[in-house]
Structure 1
Amino acid sequence: MKLTVWGAAEQVTGSMHLLEIDSYKILIDCGLDYEGGVELGQNENFPFNPSDIDVVVLTHAHIDHSGNLPTLVKNGFEGQILCTYPTADLTQLLLSDSVNIFMRKQDKSKRHRKFHRNKNRAFNNVQPLYLQKHVNDTAERFITIPFNKAFEINKNITLKLIPTGHLLGAAAAHFTITENGKTKTIAFTGDIGRKDYPVLNDPEYLPETQFLVCESTYGGRLHSDKEKLRDVLIKTIKEACIAQKGRLIIPAFSVGRTQSLVFSLNKIFTDRELPPIPVFVDSPMATMATQTYRKHHRFVSQESRSFYKDKGDGFEFENLSYVKELKESKEISDHFEPCIIISSAGMLEGGRIQDHLFYNIQNFYATIFFIGYCAKGTLGHRLLRGDSIVNINGRELSVFATIKKTDLLSGHGDHQDLLDYVTAIPNNYLKKVFLVHGDPDSMDALKQSLEEKNLEVIIPKKGMIFEL
């Protein structure tokens, strides 16, 4: 059995791992690499022949895990893509959205060429990585399998998807492999969620595993535990919308984070803990993703199912509006009463959120409230580190709005959660742990803690090959 780490090596994005059993090749995840300095077109260059891959196993729908699947298909992959039912639906939404983003960038480059014909030839080369046709071709390859049910890939390889709680449908991929008369086990965590997270079930621990490829996003960091999410949301809304009668702008990923935030706000307003304040969800993708959450309601947490039974739809309440058309989105800027605007993308890299920032970043009565991770190099990261001037839509703007953040809605488990997850596997059974999907400092911190538990831990570089 041979493992090659082809993505998310010493970085967060671009998850992609190749597992080879004799001549059979399994690709676990196929994410877009959009780390700082990586050009979109570089994702076209696979370090292997896509047609040689026999099957893909997808841990969850987020673009850093799924976003390069259409490129794989476009370049010759003809096998199945195995994942859970919710992951298949959410992935199709996200991939189609990626196509829209590519096409907008291409359109922007064409307009730039028209008005700056001889100034920057680099803009002549902006091409979409893939088209909707390739997304449709990819969707035809999805084979959905239930959680915790053994699925026989072939007579020597069995897959089981174990819930990780990070996103609706998210799962760790656990393989039982027979090779040369010996049984081996290896698991890929994908991303690991948190306990008691709104809407989602808690992560489930893995069965016995010899080799583990584990994410490390929050290695070395602990989530806040001094306050409860409900209290933080109430306090922030009171300060931003009641005390100074301003607007609260919340950047949130359309798939996952927005649904958890809306459900949390629903509970607050339904229980009359705050006076009614207009809440706008300004993201067509979030609206479609919410429909998918409704469709797969049996996979949400017991709390969400109980809320639905006792009080109704967890994603609808009296003062909530889902904004569909761009015209409606622009009209929000003319809404001068206190309000809450939830819009994507969470790191502020594109999407309607940039327009809301453009019109509000110099507004002393606006509050920008971050509820998730922002990678280095993103606009969100620059605001969080305290930059006083930022570039939005091509203009340098001073930051007068209040910037706040909380990690209570982070979808990733923190250092202790990761440590608990790994050490739940019997120590005498687990042979090696490979850390991926994290920055070097996070990986080093988690590696040190795991080594204190007498585990062998490896931080692989991209392209490293391991014989297991």
Structure 2
Amino acid sequence: MKLTCWGAAKQVTGSMHLLDIDNYRILIDCGLDYEGGKDLSHNANFPFNPAEIDLIILTHAHIDHSGNIPTLIKEGYKGQILCTPPTAELSQLLLSDAVNLFFNKKKGNPKGRRKLRNRSQADLYTAPLYLQKHVMDTADRMVTVAYHKQFQIRDNISLEFIPTGHLLGAAACKLTVSDNGVQKTITFTGDIGRQNSPVLVDPEILSQTEYLVCESTYGGKHHSTDSTIEETLIKHITETCLEQPGRLIIPAFSVGRTQALVYSLNKIFSKKLLPPIPVFVDSPLANRATEVYRKYKNYVNEEAEAFYETYGDKFEFENLSYVKELKESKEIADHFEPCIIISSAGMLEGGRIQDHLFHNIQNIYAKILFIGYCSEGTLGHRLLRGDAFIRLKGKDLAVFAKIDKTDLFSGHADHQDILDYIAAIPKKPKRIFLVHGEQSSMLALKNDLENKDYQVSLPEKGMVFEL
């Protein structure tokens, strides 16, 4: 049995791990690699023949894990894609949205493609990685497997999905393999969620596994613990919308983060901890994703289930409006009463959030509250570092709105959470492979694990391990 890490090796994005078992090739995740910045063209080139892959296992729907599957299919992959039911539906939404983003980027060349003369110009008008037809082909290949169901892939290979929180339907995948008569186990964590997250279940303790391929996104980092999500939201709403006639604008990723935020606001208003304030959710993708969360309510945590029994729909309350049409979105600019606006994208790189930012960044009564990570180079990152001016829609705008952030909605386990997750495995794995993290995060986690006598490797891209 051989393991090759072809993605998320000493970086966060592009998860893609190849397992070779007796000439049977399994790809665990196939995500988009964003390390090249906005030019994604390098994702079209695979380091193996896609037609020679026998099976894909998808841990969860996020684009850095699922986003390059349609390219793989476009280039000749013919097999199935195994995932949980919510992952199948959420990934279809995200992949369709990715196609829209590909085509939106092409609008950067108003004079037409024929005018492009060289490579640097052509980068402004890159052909899309894949089309909607390839997303539909991806959906057709998906075979859903419930949590804890032993799925027999071949006579000598079985699969079990184990809940990890992080996103609805997210799972670690444990493979039990008979390799030349010897039974071996290897588990890929995908992304590990946090304990006591809104809506989502806690990451489940893993059973014994010999090898562990583990994410390390928040290695060396520790989440805030000095207040709860509800306390933090009440503080920001009170300061912005009650003590003054302001607007609280919250950029949020459409799938996962928005649902957690809406549920948290529902708890606050349903329990009458604050007077009702209009809440607008302005993201068509978030609206569709929320329907998937409603459909798979048996995948949420016990608290969210109990809330449903007492108060009804977790994602619906009296002062909440889901904005559908672009016309409705633009009308929010004329809403002069205090309100809360939730919109995507979370890093401010496109989407309807840019319209709300344009109309409010110079409003001294507005606050932009970030609840997710903003990578370097994004508009969100520039605001968080304190830039006094930003350029938006062709204009230089002074930043008068207040800028703040909280990490309480983070979907990733922090340093201690990962250590606890690994320590709960009944017997130490023979080896742990750290992936999906910046090198500094991996090193911090590696040092702590080695101090506890774990064998730890940091794979380079393309490095092969005999297991």
**2:400 is aligned with 1:431:** no
Report if the CA contact (8 A) 1:112-1:123 is conserved. no
Change (3 A) 1:47 1:395: farther
The one-letter amino acid paired with 1:365 is Y
Provide the identity percentage.
65
Alpha-carbon distance change, 118 to 432 in structure 1, aligned in 2, over 3 angstroms: closer
What is the letter of the counterpart of residue 219 of structure 2? G
Residue 3 of structure 1 aligns to a residue whose secondary structure is strand
* 2:6 corresponding residue in structure 1: 6
Query: What residue is the counterpart of 2:361 in the other structure?
Result: 361
| Counterpart Cα distance in 1 of 2:240 and 2:230 | 16
Equivalence for 1:241: 241
Give the whole-Å Cα distance in 1 for the aligned partners of 2:417 and 2:272: 33
The Cα of 1:129 is off from its aligned counterpart by: 1.1
Alignment partner, residue 268 of structure 1? 268
Give distance in 2, aligned partners of 1:115 and 1:276: 54
Q: Which amino acid aligns with 2:142?
A: F
Q: 1:368 offset after TM fit, Å?
A: 0.6
Corresponding residue number in structure 1 for 2:45: 45
For 2:270 and 2:111, how far apart are their aligned partners in 1? 48
* Counterpart residue number, 2:22: 22
AA at the equivalent of 1:214: C
| Deviation readout 1:208-256 (Å, 9 max, x if unpaired) | 0111111011111111111111110000001111112111110111111
Contact 1:109 1:126 in 2 (8 A): no
Letter in 2 for 1:39: D
Pairing 1:178-193 to 2, within 5 Å after superposition: 178-193=178-193
Q: State the secondary structure of the residue aligned to 2:108.
A: helix
Shift of 1:336: 1.3
Give me the whole-angstrom Cα distance separating, in 1, the residues matched to 2:194 and 2:321: 28
**Residue of structure 1 in register with 2:220 after alignment:** 220
**Pair 1:256-2:256 in alignment:** yes
What residue in structure 1 maps to residue 325 of structure 2? 325
Q: Is the 8 A contact 1:113 1:123 kept in 2?
A: no
- Structure 2 residue aligned with 1:144: 144
Letter in 1 for 2:361: I
Q: CA deviation at 1:372?
A: 1.2
2:112 and 2:360 map into 1 onto residues whose CA distance is 30
Aligned-partner SS, 1:176: strand
Deviations 1:255-274 (A, max 9, x none): 11111110000010111111
Structure 1 residue matching 2:178: 3-state secondary structure: strand
Query: For the Cα contact (< 8 Å) 1:277–1:338, is it kept in 2?
Result: yes
The 5 A counterparts of 1:339-418 are: 339-418=339-418
The separation in 1 between residues aligned to 2:364 and 2:459, in whole angstroms, is 46
Q: Say whether residues 1:101 and 2:117 are aligned partners.
A: no
1:229 aligns to 2:229 (yes or no): yes
Q: How many Å separate the matches in 2 of 1:135 and 1:10?
A: 28
**CA drift at 1:36:** 5.1
Q: Distance in 2 between matches of 1:69 and 1:293?
A: 23
Deviation per CA, 1:352-385: give whole Å up to 9, x if none.
Answer: 1122112222222111101112222222222222
Moved more, 342-351 or 247-256: 342-351
Cα distance between partner residues in 2 of 1:7 and 1:318: 45
Query: How many angstroms apart in 2 are the aligned matches of 1:196 and 1:5?
Result: 31
Partner of 2:76: 76
Residue 454 of structure 1 is matched in structure 2 by 453
Separation in 1, partners of 2:302, 2:354: 35
Deviation at 1:464, TM superposition (A): 1.1
Q: Is the 8 A contact 2:5 2:463 kept in 1?
A: yes
The DSSP-based 3-state class of the residue aligned with 1:333 is: helix
| Contact residue 198 and residue 263 of structure 1 kept, 8 A | yes
Q: What letter is aligned with 2:108?
A: S
Shift of 1:438: 0.9
Task: Tell me, in whole angstroms, the C-alpha distance in 1 between the residues paired with 2:186 and 2:394.
Answer: 47
RMSD: 1.7
**Secondary structure in 2 matching 1:174:** strand
Partner of residue 161, structure 1: 161
- The ranges of structure 1 where at least 4 consecutive aligned residues each deviate by more than 6 angstroms after the TM superposition are 114-120
Cα distance in 1 for partners of 2:171, 2:340 equals 32
3-state SS of paired residue (2:72): helix
Structure 2 CA distance, aligned partners of 1:116 and 1:337? 48
SS at match of 2:19: strand
Q: Check conservation: 1:109, 1:123, Cα contact below 8 A.
A: no
Q: Which segment drifts farther, 113-122 or 282-291?
A: 113-122
Residue 393 of structure 1 and its aligned partner are, at CA, apart by 3.5
One-letter code of the match for 1:439?
E
Matches within 5 A, 1:188-203: 188-203=188-203
CA shift for structure 1 position 123: 5.3
* CA displacement, residues 143-166 of structure 1 (integer Å, 9 cap, x when unaligned): 000101111110111110000011
Distance 1:460 1:395, change over 3 A: farther
- Alignment check: 8 A CA contact 1:251 1:353 kept: yes
- Distance change >3 Å, CA 394–CA 451, structure 1 → 2: farther
Q: Which residue of 2 aligns with 1:445?
A: 444
Unmatched 5+ residue regions in structure 1?
Answer: none
Q: Is residue 286 of structure 2 the alignment partner of residue 286 of structure 1?
A: yes
User: SS at 2:232's partner residue?
Assistant: helix
Q: Give the residue type in structure 1 aligned to 2:15.
A: S
Q: Hey, what does 2:463 align to over in structure 1?
A: 464
Contact 1:247 1:367 in 2 (8 A): yes
CA contact (8 A) 2:113 2:125 kept: no
Letter in 2 for 1:444: L
Range with bigger deviation, 134-143 or 328-337: 328-337
Q: Go from structure 1 to structure 2 and tell me whether the alpha carbon gap of 1:255 and 1:112 turns closer, same or farther (over 3 Å shift).
A: farther
> Does the 8 Å contact 1:11/1:436 carry over to 2?
yes
Tell me, what secondary structure is at the counterpart of 1:463? Answer: coil
Higher mean C-alpha displacement, 289-298 vs 300-309: 300-309
